[in-house]
């Protein structure tokens, strides 16, 4: 899993509440178990018209936000079904951080397992960040996981809370497999002892 330590980039504003996982990645794209290639389906029902052409009114189709790496979104982001394809699609598109006042629990947990930082802020802080994001590509936002700070284009700083264990995993690029591999020496020792005492096992 890719590490997350510090990110400075364009933030796209999506002031929509209750963006569910079907809106993030429609069910038509769930036929694969690969984590790559899903970026084309991200927000497909908003990004594309019925004839398949891009919707110029959708924020990620606007030139200022076409390379956005941060999303500033409304309340309850990632609600709905538990599909892990949602963070896969965000990551494949290039989104590494999502900022909201609240997230659905399963989506929130899945973000950490896939190298995406979900940041929870107050409604007042979200309003400030949404205003920053609406300025376009010249208003870049910096997110520092180590210091747990978001810096706006005007130098304002917002601190955020995060579980220490999740912070450790993101800073070191550790998903569930990576965490297990950190214990490889202990696992090998256990298996060697088991083979000596219970060879039939």
Q: Tens digit of pLDDT for each residue in 151-191? A: 999 989 999 999 999 999 999 998 877 666 666 677 676 66
For residue 194, pLDDT beyond 70: no
Domain ranges of the chain: 6-172
**pTM greater than 0.75 (yes/no):** yes
Q: What pLDDT is stored for residue 44 in this prediction? A: 97
Q: Which ranges of the chain does DSSP label H, i.e. alpha helix? A: 21-24, 44-47, 85-93, 105-112, 123-133, 164-172, 176-181, 184-197
Segment 84-108 mean pLDDT = 97
CATH class of this structure's domain 6-172? alpha beta
């Amino acid at each position: 899993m890719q590490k997350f330590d510090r990110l400075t980039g364009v933030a796209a504003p999506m002031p929509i509440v209750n963006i569910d996982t079907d809106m993030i990645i429609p069910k038509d794209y769930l036929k694969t178990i690969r984590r790559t290639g899903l970026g084309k389906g991200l927000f497909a029902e908003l990004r594309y018209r019925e004839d398949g052409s891009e919707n110029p009114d959708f924020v990620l189709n606007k030139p200022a936000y076409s390379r956005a790496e941060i999303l500033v979104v409304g309340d309850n982001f990632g609600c709905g079904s538990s599909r892990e394809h949602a963070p896969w699609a965000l990551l494949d598109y290039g989104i590494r951080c999502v900022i909201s006042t609240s997230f659905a629990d399963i989506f929130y947990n899945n973000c950490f397992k896939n190298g995406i930082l979900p940041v929870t802020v107050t409604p007042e802080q979200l309003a400030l960040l949404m205003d920053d994001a609406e300025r376009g590509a010249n208003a870049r936002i910096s997110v520092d996981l180590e210091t747990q700070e978001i810096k706006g284009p005007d130098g304002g700083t917002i601190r955020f809370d995060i579980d220490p264990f999740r912070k450790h995993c993101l800073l070191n690029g550790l998903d569930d497999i990576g965490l297990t591999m950190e214990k490889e020496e202990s696992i090998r020792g256990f298996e060697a002892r088991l083979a000596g005492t219970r060879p039939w096992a």
